A and B are shown apart, each in its own frame.
Chain A
Amino acid sequence: MKPDVVIAAHKLTKKYGDLAAVDGISFEVSAGESFGLLGPNGAGKSTTMKMIGGVSQRTSGQLSIMGLDPESHGPEVRAHLGVVPQQDNLDEELKVRENLLVYGRYFGLPLSYLRPKADELLEFAQLTEKAKSRVDDLSGGMKRRLTIARSLINEPRILLLDEPTTGLDPQARHILWDRLFRLKEQGVTLILTTHYMDEAEQLCDRLIVVDKGRIMAEGSPSSLIREHSTREVLELRFGSERNTRIGAELQGIGERLETLPDRVLIYADDGEAALEQVTARGLHPLTSLVRRSSLEDVFLRLTGRSLVD
C-alpha cells in the first residue's frame, strides 16, 4: 500500500439477504484526492459510504481507513472523518451555532477550541447572521451548508459527502460547489457520491462509475469521456412518435447511435458535420443540439441506461 493512501477497499461486499448492494468493489484513495462514486439510485454508493464510516458492517472483503478497520475501530476512524449524510440530520432542538458546538463535543473537543472554530465555520458556510436562528428556520441550501460546516468541526482528514446537492435549487448548488471546491484546494480528501454528472465533473479528480454494486469504469472525468465516448454529441428530437423508428434512417452517421424515448443521440467527433449529414438525408428534426460529451454519455455507454430516470 502506498504511504499516502487514506482509503483502501479490496473486494468490498455488502449483502442484504441474497441481494448484493455492493458487489466486490476495490479502489484506493490518496490523501488530498477528490474521489467520486457516480451511479444511479440504488447502485450501492450510499452503502459504500456507510461502510467507510463504519456505520454499516461489510459482508466480506477488506477496508482500511487511515490504516484502521472501521468495523473494529469505529469511533477512532470516525475521529478522522467528516460526514455529510444524504439527508440532513441537524439537531433541531438546538440553535444553529449550538449545533456546531455540540457536534464538536461528540468528538471530545474542548469548548476553548470549539467557540472560535464554530464562528469560523459559520462564516465559511455564510451563516454568521443565522448563528442564533432555529435550524427549522433555515432554507434547504442553508441547512446543507450547516451540515457541511458541522462535518468540518473536527478538522477531518477525509470528508464524506453523500449526494451533497440533491434536492437543492441551481443557485444553492453553485454556492455549495464553490465551498467544496475551496475545501479541495485546501487539501481535504473528498469522497463524494452523486448521480449528477456535472457535479462529478466539477469536483472529482477521479471517479468510479458504479452500477448494481459493481465498478463499471474508473478514471478522471476527462479520461473516462475520452475512453468511452466521442468528443461531441448530436442530440436530435423528432417527436416521441418518430424517435424510435428513425434509427434505421440515421445508420452510418457518426460513430455510434443511441435511441432514447425522447431523443436520438449521435456520437461523433464533429457534431456539426454529423448534423449536416442528417439534413443531407432529407431528415428534419424538430430540434437539434450539438454538445460536448459528458459523464452521462459514459454511463449510458457502459450500462445502456441513463443516470437519472
Chain B
Amino acid sequence: MSVMAEGHEATEAARARKFGSLYSRNASAVVSRGLMATRSSNWLVMASGFLEPVLFLVSMGVGLGSIVGPVQGPSGQEISYAAYIAPALLAVSAMNGAIYDSTWNVFFKMNFAKLYQGMLYTSLGPLDVAMGEIFLALLRGLLYATGFTAVMGMMGLLTTPWALLMMPASVLIAFGFASFGMGVTSFMKTFQQMDWVNFFLLPMFLFSATFYPLSVYPEPIQWLVQAMPLWHGVELLRQISVGSFGPATVVHIGYYLVMILVGILLTTGRLRALFLK
C-alpha cells in the first residue's frame, strides 16, 4: 500500500497558498479544533462561570434591591436596583467567559498539552494560533452574555430596543479580555502565578462600579477604577441598557479597541518568542 503515492491535488493546492512568516490565513482550523475539543470538556466548570453573575443578579438585584429601592440611572432617570446592576453583571459575564478560555485553558495547552508547539510545526503561524484561540474565548464570552441577556429579559430588565446593542458590545468586551488574557497567560509558568489572575479579577469585579456608582470613592481611587478594563465595560453596557449615549461611550469603546490590538500583538509576539525561538 502506498500512502505517499502521487502528489494529491489538494496537498498541492494547500502548498500553493500565500503565506506570511507569521500568518497563513488559517485561524479557522484552530477554531474548528477548539470546537471539536469542547465536546470532551467539563461542562460543569463551564456552567459555573455563567451562573456566577446570574446568582449575583438574583441575590443582589432582587434581594438587596428590595431594601435599596429605585436608584439613579446613567441619564439621571430612576431605575430599579436590579436594572442598575444587570448591565454591569453582563459585562462580568462576558469577561468570565473570555477569561475562562484565555487563561486557564490556554495555560494548560501551553505548558502541559504542548498544543501550540504541535500547531506551530505545521503551516500555521503564531498569528493564526493567537487569532483562533482568542476567537474561541470570545465565543464563550458571547455564549455567556447571550444567556445572561436572556435572564435579564425574563426578569423584565430589558426596557428599550437599544438594549439589544448590549450583545455586540459584550463581544467587544469579551474580545478585549480574551486577547489580553491570552497574552498575559503566556508569561505564566506555574499554578501559583495563575492564582494571581483570580487575585486581580475578584477586586476588579467587586469595585468597578458594579454595584454602586463610582462617585462613592475619593478621587484617586476613582482614577484607579477608571483605569481598569471592567469599569469601561460596565459603564458602556449601563449606558446602552437605557439608550443614553455620550462622548464617554466612544472612550469606552476605544479603550477596548486598544486592549484588543495590544492583546493580539502581545500574544502573537509571545507565541513567537516561546515556540519559534
- Measured CB to CB, the residues of A under 8 A from B are 53-57, 71-76, 78-81, 83, 85, 87, 89-94, 98, 102-103, 105-110, 112-113, 117, 120-121, 123-124, 152, 154-155, 183, 186-188
Contact = CB atoms under 8 A, between A and B. Distances in A.
A50 to B, nearest CB: 9
B124 interface: yes
A83 B94 CA distance: 38
Given A89-B118, A186-B5, A107 B123 contact: yes
B36 A107 contact: no
Contact of B11 (A72, A81, A154): A154
B24 A75 contact: yes
A225 B248 CA distance: 78
A121 B277 CA distance: 32
A53 B121 contact: yes
Contacts of A83: 121
15 contacts: A55-B121, A56-B276, A73-B19, A74-B21, A74-B276, A75-B125, A79-B17, A79-B19, A94-B37, A106-B33, A106-B123, A107-B122, A108-B26, A186-B2, A186-B3
B24 A55 contact: no
B4 interface: yes
B1 to A, nearest CB: 7
Q: Is the interface of B mostly helix, strand, loop or mixed?
A: loop
Q: Which of A54, A106, A121 has the most CB of B within 10 A?
A: A106
B55 interface: no
A-B interface, 6 closest residue pairs, ranked by CB to CB distance from nearest = A113-B10, A106-B122, A93-B37, A105-B29, A79-B123, A76-B19
B222 interface: no
A79 B15 contact: yes
Contact of B121 (A78, A93, A94): A78
Contacts of B3: 120-121, 124, 152, 183, 186
Interface residues of B, number: 42
B1 A123 contact: yes
B150 interface: no
Interface in B1-59: 1-5, 7-8, 10-11, 14-15, 17, 19-24, 26, 29-30, 32-33, 36-37, 40-41
A188 B36 CA distance: 31
B71 interface: no
B11 A155 contact: yes
Contact of A57 (B4, B117, B277): B277
Nearest to A110: B10
A91 B37 contact: yes
B276 A55 contact: yes
Given A55-B120, A103-B122, A105-B32, A187 B4 contact: yes
Given A93-B113, A106-B29, A113-B10, A54 B4 contact: no
B121 A154 contact: no
Contacts of B2: 186
Given A79-B15, A92-B113, A108-B26, 14 more contacts: A74-B22, A76-B24, A79-B19, A85-B117, A87-B114, A89-B118, A102-B32, A105-B29, A106-B26, A106-B119, A106-B123, A108-B14, A108-B17, A152-B4
B4 A56 contact: no
B6 to A, nearest CB: 9
Contacts of B41: 93
Given A102-B32, A106-B29, A186-B5, A113 B11 contact: yes
Contact of A85 (B21, B121, B124): B121
A91 B113 contact: yes
Q: Which of B3, B20, B120, B275 has the most CB of A within 10 A?
A: B3
Contact of B14 (A55, A71, A107, A188): A107
B115 interface: yes
A151 to B, nearest CB: 9
B248 to A, nearest CB: 42
Given A107-B14, A155-B11, A78 B123 contact: yes
A183 B258 CA distance: 50
A120 B1 CA distance: 9
B276 A54 contact: yes
B8 A113 contact: yes
Q: Which of B19, B113, B115, B277 has the most CB of A within 10 A?
A: B19
Nearest to A84: B121
Contacts of A154: 11, 14-15, 122-123
B230 to A, nearest CB: 30
Contacts of B122: 78, 103, 106-107, 154
Given A85-B121, A187-B4, A102 B29 contact: yes
Contact of B33 (A80, A105, A124, A183): A105
Contacts of A105: 26, 29, 32-33
Nearest to B40: A93
Contacts of B114: 87, 89
